[in-house]
Every structure is written in C-alpha cells, then in structure tokens.
C-alpha cells in the first residue's frame, strides 16, 4: 500500500526573528519489511543560509537549517511517498513482566533500539504516582507483557477524553492525566510513564496517520496534524510493539513512522532556537492519501 504525504508547518513571528537554527524531524523512516520511503522533498521558505542532514542517536533523519537574516515567517513543506507492507498475523510471544525484567537486566546492548534507553526518567517524563497507580490497577502479573500493554492502553483510552484545547505542547503528562484530557502527545506520554512504572521499557513514536479511513471505517483522531503513539518492548522474541492510545488500536499500515524517541522532545517535528523579541504563532497541516 502506497501513501502520498504532504505536510506544511508555518511559524509566524510578531517581530522579525534572526539567527534562527532549527532541527526538523518530519521525514518518514525506512523500516525493513514494514515501511519504505520511496521519495521525498523537504523545502524551507525563506531558503536557509545553511542546511545539512544527520541521523540522530535513535536513527531518525534530521534536517538542520539556519536562517541568519531577519524573517517574519518560516514555512516548512514536505512531500513524500511511502510504501507500507502489511504486517503478518498478530501473535503474542511475549513473556510475563518478571521474565521481561530478567531479560533486559542482563542485556549488554546500547544500540538505538535497546530497551535501556526507554526505562525513564527523562527530563520531560518523571515518574508520577497517580499514573503508576493507574497502570498497576490494570496490570495482571501472570499475563504476557503485550497483553498488559494493550489492556493498559485501552484503559487509558477509555479514561481520557481527546481534547485539542485542554493542553498545549508543553503540558506535562501528570497535568494531562489529572485533567483526564489531552491530545495524542499527552496520551502517549501518560502511557509511557504507566508502562515504565511496571518496568516495561516504553518509548514515543511520532508519525503520520492515514487521513480517510478505508471504506466503512471510522475517521481516526489526530489526522490533521502529525500524530504520536507508543511502543513497548515485549521481550527478545516479540521485540517492540506499537500501540496508539488515542485511537485504542495496535499499529498497522495506517501509521507511518517518522521518529522514535523517549519522549516528545527527542522527536519534536521542529526544534528551534532563534533571536526574536515578540511572540510566535504556529500552524500545521497534514494530508495523507492512498496512492492507487
């Protein structure tokens, strides 16, 4: 299945900004046997003074752009095509959590997908007692890790209301959980903290979601902007399992991965630093269409 993805991110500055430097993480990854980036074009306006690319610690593609001269807006445009492969039939091969802990405790790998990076805390995600209690309430020790992950994700989805006005990009997970409201970023952060409280390695995934559902399906939440979901490490055999708590679903071909990280800060689409004395307004538009 092929997708055509278009993304526009606009930053408008009340006072002209200068000396700006941005890290941009918006281009889908290529993941063997799952997702293949066919072609992409990433443009900036105004044209940057300098532009380079790198791959970060977690293997995400990053564009680094600098704009020295004063400018009152910056627009990032991405157009790309991605081919997704249908995953095999879901099989749960994960151990229970006690065995899972023994599995990672003896690990000696520090590569990008190593569970050791995803045990927390991060600067942004610090343990929260209410979230930990919630996770424990839905935890069944005898069940497999994957079953627990899905159960906790579903419970979280049922408990929290999708609400684009309740939180901002800077809201912390504890606050969103207290409000029982938020967007994909908040739900993902809360789920990560819940799983980590049970010693289940969990990370943050940013990406795109198919805009229109297959015939007869329901339109999903979070299609008009970049989306976020969670991945949990379910042992050496099962590996990483991705789950979208905003839509209470396991991740299949409708979720296109851009970045893997520990929290939003690791994969935020645009991370910037600039000199400006005024405020800033941002907007984002995404369109993900199926190609024939």
Task: Name which position in 8, 30, 56, 113 contacts another protein (CB under 8 A).
Answer: 56
Nearer to another protein, 21 or 250 (CB): 21
Residues 99 to 158 in contact with another protein, rule: CB under 8 A: 105, 107-110, 114-117, 119-123
- Rounded CA gap, 69 and 66, in Å? 9
Residues 157 to 176 in contact with another protein, rule: CB under 8 A: none
Residue 35 beta carbon to another protein: minimum distance, rounded to whole angstroms: 23
Task: Give the x-and-dash track for 207-246 against another protein (CB under 8 A).
Answer: ----------------------------------------
- Rounded CA gap, 247 and 219, in Å? 10
**What residue ranges in the chain does DSSP mark as E strands?**
2-24, 35-45, 50-55, 61-67, 71-84, 161-162, 181-182, 202-209, 227-233, 240-244, 249-250, 255-261, 270-275, 280-291
Helix, strand, coil tally for the chain in percent (to 5): 25, 40, 40
Nearer to another protein, 79 or 274 (CB): 274
Q: Is 273 in the site for another protein (CB under 8 A)?
A: yes
- Rounded CA gap, 166 and 172, in Å? 12
Of residues 12, 9, 20, 11, the one with CA closest to residue 77:
9
Residue 215 beta carbon to another protein: minimum distance, rounded to whole angstroms: 43
Q: Is 23 in the site for another protein (CB under 8 A)?
A: yes
Q: Is 278 in the site for another protein (CB under 8 A)?
A: no
Residue 2 beta carbon to another protein: minimum distance, rounded to whole angstroms: 33
Nearer to another protein, 56 or 83 (CB): 56
Distance of CA 162 to the CA centre of its chain: 16
Q: Is 66 in the site for another protein (CB under 8 A)?
A: yes
Q: Kind and range of the H or E element at 179?
A: helix 173-179
Nearer to another protein, 105 or 158 (CB): 105
- Rounded CA gap, 68 and 205, in Å? 31
Of residues 194, 172, 175, the one with CA closest to residue 243:
194
CB-neighbour burial class of residue 34 (10 A; exposed 0-12, middle 13-18, buried 19+): middle
Task: Name which position in 38, 44, 64, 290 contacts another protein (CB under 8 A).
Answer: 64
Nearer to another protein, 104 or 208 (CB): 104
Size of the site for another protein (CB under 8 A): 31
Residue 119 beta carbon to another protein: minimum distance, rounded to whole angstroms: 5
- Rounded CA gap, 229 and 207, in Å? 8
Nearer to another protein, 107 or 278 (CB): 107
Task: Name which position in 1, 54, 98, 291 contacts another protein (CB under 8 A).
Answer: 54
Q: Kind and range of the H or E element at 134?
A: helix 129-137
Residues that bind another protein (CB under 8 A): 19, 21, 23, 49-50, 52, 54, 56-58, 64, 66, 68, 105, 107-110, 114-117, 119-123, 265, 271-273
């Amino acid at each position: 299945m092929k997708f055509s993805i278009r993304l526009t991110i606009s930053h408008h500055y009340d006072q002209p900004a200068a000396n700006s430097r941005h890290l941009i993480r918006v281009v889908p990854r290529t993941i063997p046997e799952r997702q293949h980036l066919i072609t992409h074009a990433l443009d900036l306006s105004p044209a940057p003074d300098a532009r380079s690319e790198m791959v970060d610690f977690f293997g995400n593609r990053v564009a680094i752009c600098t704009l020295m001269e004063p400018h009152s807006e910056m627009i990032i445009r991405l157009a790309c095509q991605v081919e997704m492969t249908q995953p095999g039939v879901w099989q749960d091969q994960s151990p229970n959590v006690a065995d899972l802990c023994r599995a990672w405790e003896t690990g000696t790998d520090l590569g990008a997908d190593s569970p050791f990076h995803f045990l927390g805390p991060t600067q942004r995600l610090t343990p929260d007692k209410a979230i930990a209690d919630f996770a424990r309430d839905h935890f069944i020790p005898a069940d497999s890790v994957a079953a627990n992950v899905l159960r906790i994700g579903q419970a979280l989805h049922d408990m929290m209301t999708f609400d684009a006005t309740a939180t901002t990009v800077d809201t912390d997970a504890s606050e969103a959980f207290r409000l029982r409201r938020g967007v994909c970023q908040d739900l993902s952060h809360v789920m990560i903290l819940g799983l980590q409280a049970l010693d289940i390695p969990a990370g943050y995934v940013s990406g795109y979601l198919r805009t229109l559902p297959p015939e007869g399906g329901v339109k999903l939440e979070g299609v008009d902007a970049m989306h976020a979901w969670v991945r949990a490490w379910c042992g050496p055999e099962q590996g990483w399992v991705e789950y979208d708590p905003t839509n209470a679903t396991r991740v299949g071909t409708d979720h296109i991965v851009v970045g893997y990280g520990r929290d939003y800060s690791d994969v935020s689409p645009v991370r910037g630093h600039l000199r400006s004395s005024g405020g800033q307004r941002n907007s984002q538009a995404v369109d993900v269409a199926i190609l024939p």
